Structure 1
């Protein structure tokens, strides 16, 4: 292979390796409690990672066997994927910027309210026709079961626990309701509960708990926000690496075109 084609093949391999953290981040998101119950956000990153892997493989094949048209198609597809990745990251940062959590005095964990999250999240996830399915998924998960199995010696021990957004929103009543603690998923009704719909929606039935509460919906959004923010760290690093790889691949492709033109000139074809 000419030097330029060799460089293109190498950077295609680097791009192929970059697809691994993208697929890994997607799989991590797909298995987290928040994302696994929301079809809309579960698989896009995995699909993008697989497409990136296939495109990079095509670029390597084209460079190795000097198929310039295939390399050109690879560069166009890679440009589209990089733009799509940056658009996705920008969108994620915009819609997850508002944080619906708020601190509760005397509690180590935070609680969540729907009004604190972006309208897009509320409209496309919580208010979507799929909410009943999402609720059943959260209820069937081990989020609250795992919490109920934890050993807390007294209420103060529980109040200092580091609960996830879903555990805080779905597995216990909001602190403002004034319920008395028995265990993480069993609470004593107050004589005069606060005038809040969530206070009446709470049930000690382990199949109900606070899955019908607004705080549970907010906890789901808090979980999604946290998971996507963590995954975005990997995706940003990968996007920057891909951009550098793409610039190197474009330079190598241009040099390969020049080398091919010179070769054809010497052979009398031009």
Structure 2
């Protein structure tokens, strides 16, 4: 048996083994999901697991058993995957290139403005259906509960010097524009009869279940966090693309071997 056929068989056998725990994780989430966040994850994980299972079976059988038509389908799906990953990587770099936090004088944290980020991302979070699901996920993750516990004993001066992440700054405290008086990380005194240029100031409430989860700053904090993660994913995708192209090339060699052996039989 040709070396390329052996390599394709081994690589797809390993992928086949990897697909099983991914698929089982998706099924487990489907049965055990209790929050919107978990329900949001279950479908992509199940789809990924099924895709890897089917494609790796095609590659394994097509390469090791010399089934040419299965190997052809395997190469077709691999080509589609390479194209999709390439397009997504370019898209992620373009979308994640815009937007950054605003540094504040005498503050350790930054503030985030929704208008600073790409229009495509803004449309996604401004959709009420999308945002309600995201907000439910953030709340079930106890983002601001942990934030409150972490900085509860801080004085105002100490709190202002803390290096908060984008979600903490955008969702768990009011904007610096509001001029509210600090009591504790999630409890601020609002001036009586105050008028604000920033609409987030009217949206803020000390209710621990609400806080600033309906603020534009919370959406901006999410987008900043998403932007950072997308850049990391894009870098990983580049490495994965190189690996896929190498595997695809080996698969092409195996396909050519299968066809050559088929011709020899006749």
TM-score, normalised relative to structure 1:
0.79
Residue of structure 2 equivalent to 1:176: 177
Residue of structure 1 equivalent to 2:60: 60
Q: Tell which deviates more after alignment, 141-150 or 184-193.
A: 184-193
- Unaligned regions of 5+ residues in structure 2, if any? 27-35
Determine the C-alpha separation between the residues in 1 that align with 2:7 and 2:179. Answer: 66
User: Which of residues 239, 242, 247 in structure 2 aligns to 1:240?
Assistant: 242
Determine the C-alpha separation between the residues in 2 that align with 1:17 and 1:139. Answer: 35
- Written as runs of structure 1 = structure 2, the 5 A alignment for 1:256-267 is 256-261=258-263, 263-264=264-265
Is 1:199 the counterpart of 2:201 in the alignment? Answer: yes
After TM superposition, give the deviation of residue 97 of structure 1 in Å: 1.8
Residue of structure 2 equivalent to 1:108: 108
Determine the C-alpha separation between the residues in 2 that align with 1:201 and 1:105. Answer: 24
Residue of structure 1 equivalent to 2:10: 10
Residue of structure 1 equivalent to 2:252: 250
After TM superposition, give the deviation of residue 75 of structure 1 in Å: 0.7
Asked whether the equivalents of residues 2 and 257 of structure 2 are also in contact (C-alpha less than 8 Å), the reply is no
Distance 1:53 1:234, change over 3 A: farther
Residue of structure 2 equivalent to 1:187: 188
Residue of structure 1 equivalent to 2:75: 75
Per-residue CA deviations over 1:35-72 (Å, capped at 9, x if unaligned) read 94995x98647734651343123201221111111111
Asked whether the equivalents of residues 178 and 193 of structure 1 are also in contact (C-alpha less than 8 Å), the reply is no
After TM superposition, give the deviation of residue 88 of structure 1 in Å: 1.8
- Written as runs of structure 1 = structure 2, the 5 A alignment for 1:85-164 is 85-151=85-151, 152-164=153-165
Distance 1:246 1:112, change over 3 A: same
Asked whether the equivalents of residues 144 and 167 of structure 1 are also in contact (C-alpha less than 8 Å), the reply is yes
Residue of structure 1 equivalent to 2:29: none
Q: Tell which deviates more after alignment, 150-159 or 160-169.
A: 150-159
Determine the C-alpha separation between the residues in 1 that align with 2:45 and 2:84. Answer: 11
Per-residue CA deviations over 1:164-204 (Å, capped at 9, x if unaligned) read 22211110001121122221111122464542211122111
Determine the C-alpha separation between the residues in 2 that align with 1:120 and 1:179. Answer: 32
SS at match of 2:54: helix
Asked whether the equivalents of residues 67 and 258 of structure 2 are also in contact (C-alpha less than 8 Å), the reply is no
Asked whether the equivalents of residues 37 and 134 of structure 2 are also in contact (C-alpha less than 8 Å), the reply is no
Is 1:227 the counterpart of 2:202 in the alignment? Answer: no
